[in-house]
Amino acid sequence: MTDKRESERVPVPGEVHGEVTVFQPMTILDMSPRGAQIETTFPLHLDSLHDFRLTLGERSVVVKGRIVHCQIGDIGNGGVRYRTGLEFIEPSGHVLTAIQAFVDAQRAALGTPPPRVIDAELAGES
């Protein structure tokens, strides 16, 4: 058997550790340009950062998100399902545009008007 490597591998003394990113299936329950609520079969740790691949209609984007809450959503025959809230972290312009377009399309399909911005003040205690 011939070695097809372009460079020789060198044994590493001791233990050297690393991490691998693995994309696991999830269900997106709701979404805004700032974050989403998802459902998974595994828990995610609070404040941990992850890359999320979102299939938004015909577009697919990857966005970094921070876990803001995670709780058991359902326990049934298929096992435990976790509901997790995530905040998108510094999405690029094209990712934000894709998410906003998807959210707008979903809102239009549901016949829901966009949210209104209302000016308000919070009164201080006297």
pLDDT digit string (tens) for 87-122? 999 999 999 999 999 999 999 988 877 666 555 555
Total structural domains within the chain: 1
Considering only residues 22 and 24, tell me which one the structure prediction assigns the higher pLDDT: 24
Nearest to 37 by CA among 68, 63, 79, 75: 68
* Sheet strand arrangement including 59-76: 27-32, 35-40, 79-88, 59-76, 49-56
The two beta strands, 59-76 and 79-88, are antiparallel
| Confidence label for 4 from pLDDT (cuts 50, 70 and 90) | confident
Considering only residues 33 and 119, tell me which one the structure prediction assigns the higher pLDDT: 33
* Any domain includes 112: no
The pLDDT assigned to 19 comes to 78
Answer yes or no: pTM beyond 0.85: no
The residue range of the domain holding 36 is: 27-107
* Any domain includes 54: yes
The yes-or-no verdict on residue 74 having pLDDT over 60 is yes
* Any domain includes 72: yes
* Any domain includes 91: yes
